Structures are given as structure tokens and as C-alpha cells.
Amino acid sequence: MMKQTPPTFLGIGAQKAGTTWLYNQLVRHPEIWLPPIKEMHFFDRSEHYRGPNKLTILAPFKNFVKPERHDSPGVKTGLETISSFLNEDWYRGLFSYAARYKARGEITPSYSILESADVAQIKAINPDMKFIFMIRNPIERAISAIRFNVSRSWVDIDLGSDDDIISTLKSSGLVSRGNYEQTLMTYLEHFDSSQILLGFYDAIQQDPSGLMSGITGLLGVAPFEHNSVDFRERVNASPAHKMSDSVMDYLSHEYAPMIHRMAEQFGSYAIAWSESLHPARISSKTVDTTTHLPATIHP
């Protein structure tokens, strides 16, 4: 029997923050192994997370069964059988073939919305796991997510309707994916801050080599060779669409407090996020600076 070798790192998000670009860089590194499928979705299989997850407990079998038979006894038995195979041993086994690599991992952006019990499952698999958390100006991230989801027909809204857009922006899934503070606090319940690296989306254009140097350092592999990081490649770009002042006002009101806290706590590109906020758009809402991110995490 092949010895099981757990993954050593996970890319945990955020959605629309450069995780596909990151995958395309890491998969070229000779000391790093990633599966051929970027997003494994092992830890967010529960339908509770309601994502486009190919490993959702119901998905594997339902893909081959007519909808009218999904509730039949035979299908339910099949679902239970498949679910029993998709366990921690199965997941560890995926990485056993890559034991010779110094770093083995996978990147699933929706791991950023995992609840504490599921993060605890990650620790059970590997308490020394390292995490790459790519983040982007939450206002820009939300806009990009809206446009991308519409282009993929994942949401059915009129981009000319402010009410439709703002209603979607208020949806729990989209809100949670932009709540970087909650993600960090949840993971820090189980892991030390030294195991988490914040990677700024902005650095992909402005300092890709510096970003990848930090990531390879975290993973314990050799740095990329000079000029081997591709900063020109843009993948999964969202279609252009200018948001109205009303939508921008809403986003500024919602995210200004967190942006200011992140600028104070982490500096780096978060300072530019803070400085880009239009004063008129946030003047009617007091900026809350009482809740702080853990001081020991650094970008």
C-alpha cells in the first residue's frame, strides 16, 4: 500500500483575487506539485456552502442520474457509498504520488469561507499546513465577482439595475468572500499566524517577483529563476462594466471600515486601497477602528 502523504499547503482565496494566476505560476515550479484540476473543493463539499463545487456530496452521482430519480432509494444508497469514499484517506491519497516534491498543495478560493469545524479538519490532515491567502481591494473584488458571475450565467441579474446589483452584493455568499477579517480569525483559531501568507492581488502587476519570493519562502522551496514569473498573463478576466455612483456608494459604505483597519494593520497595498476611497462616499458612516486583525500576520 502506498504511504499517504498529505498536502503541505493550500491556497484559500479570495475569489477574483488572482488565484488562477497563482496556480499557473506554481504549477511550473520544479519543486511544487499541484493537481491538474485547480480547485479540488474537498473541504467545502457540504451543500451548506452553496458553491459551484464538483465534489459536493450530491454532485458526483447526480451528474449521471436523471433529476426525477435523485430521491429514489437506489440513488440515495449510491450517494452514501460515494460519500464514504470521499474521506480524509482519499484526499491524502491524492498527494501520495507527489511525495518526492518539497511542496504539495491545491488552490480552492472558496476555502476562505470555511467555518471553524472544517478548518479543524484541515488541521487534522496536516497541523503544519501553510496557507496562501490572496486578497484584493474588497470593492474591486465584489465588482469583478458580479461581472464574472453574470458572464458565466451563475446569477441572473440586470447589470443596468442598481437594485439588482445591490441585492446581489448583499447575498451571503458574496459578502462572506469579501470578509477577509473573518477568514483570518477563523483560520487563526487553529493555526499559527506564521503559517499564513497574505498575497496582494496588486502585486501581480506591480511586484510579481516579490510576491512569488514570499510564497516560495513560505513553502520552503527554491525561489523562481530570474524573470521566470509571468506578470503579463491575465486569466478569468471579468467583462468590463462601469458601476453607477449608487453602487459605488453602497460598496464604499460597506467596506471602508475594514479597508481602513487593514491599512492600519498591514500597510502595503492596503494603504492605497484606503487612500482611493472617496471621502464623500464614506462621510455619512463613522469608520470603526475598534476591531483589529491579529497583529502578528504580515503580508
Q: Is 50 exceeded by the pLDDT of residue 138? A: yes
Predicted local distance difference test score (pLDDT) of residue 65: 43
Q: Give the tens place of pLDDT for each residue, 253-274.
A: 889 999 999 999 998 899 999 9
Q: Is 90 exceeded by the pLDDT of residue 121? A: yes
Q: Is 70 exceeded by the pLDDT of residue 151? A: no
pTM for the full predicted model: 0.81
Q: Is 50 exceeded by the pLDDT of residue 63? A: no
Confidence of residue 286 (pLDDT cuts 50, 70, 90): very low
Q: Cα–Cα distance between 299 and 297 in angstroms, integer?
A: 7
Confidence of residue 51 (pLDDT cuts 50, 70, 90): low
Burial of 158 per CB tally in 10 Å (0-12, 13-18, 19+): exposed
In sequence order, the 6+-apart residues with CB closer than 8 A to the CB of 16 are: 136, 141, 144, 145, 148, 236, 238
267-to-24, 40, 45, 215, 259 alpha-carbon distances in Å: 27, 32, 35, 18, 10
The rounded mean pLDDT for the chain is 80
Amino acid at 104: R
36 grid coordinates: 491538474
In sequence order, the 6+-apart residues with CB closer than 8 A to the CB of 17 are: 109, 134, 135, 136, 141, 201
Confidence of residue 88 (pLDDT cuts 50, 70, 90): confident
223-to-7, 23, 100, 196, 218 alpha-carbon distances in Å: 20, 16, 18, 18, 11
Confidence of residue 97 (pLDDT cuts 50, 70, 90): confident
> Domains of the chain, with CATH numbers?
9-45+86-282 (3.40.50.300), 46-85 (no CATH)
Number of Cβ within a 10 Å radius of residue 182: 15
Is cis: bond before 14, omega within 30 of 0?
Answer: yes
Predicted local distance difference test score (pLDDT) of residue 242: 75
